[in-house]
């Protein structure tokens, strides 16, 4: 999964305790649920 994250140099991936994965755009600090 780390290799695919390299496609988002300005984004931060955050995983919750439920196993949900959110993608955060650092420029807007907007979280988007991707999984």
Per residue in 4-33, pLDDT tens?
Answer: 555 555 567 777 888 888 877 767 666 677
Q: Which residues contact 28 (CB under 8 A, 6 or more apart)?
A: none
Q: Which residues contact 10 (CB under 8 A, 6 or more apart)?
A: 25, 26, 27
DSSP H or E run through 3: helix 2-5
pLDDT in the model for residue 17: 86
Structure tokens at 34: 């991707």
Q: What is the pTM of this model?
A: 0.36
Q: Where are the beta strands (DSSP E) in 1-35?
A: 11-15, 21-25, 30-33
């Amino acid at each position: 999964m780390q290799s695919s994250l390299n496609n988002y140099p300005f984004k931060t991936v955050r995983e919750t305790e439920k196993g949900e994965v959110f993608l955060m755009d650092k420029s807007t600090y907007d979280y988007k649920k991707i999984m």
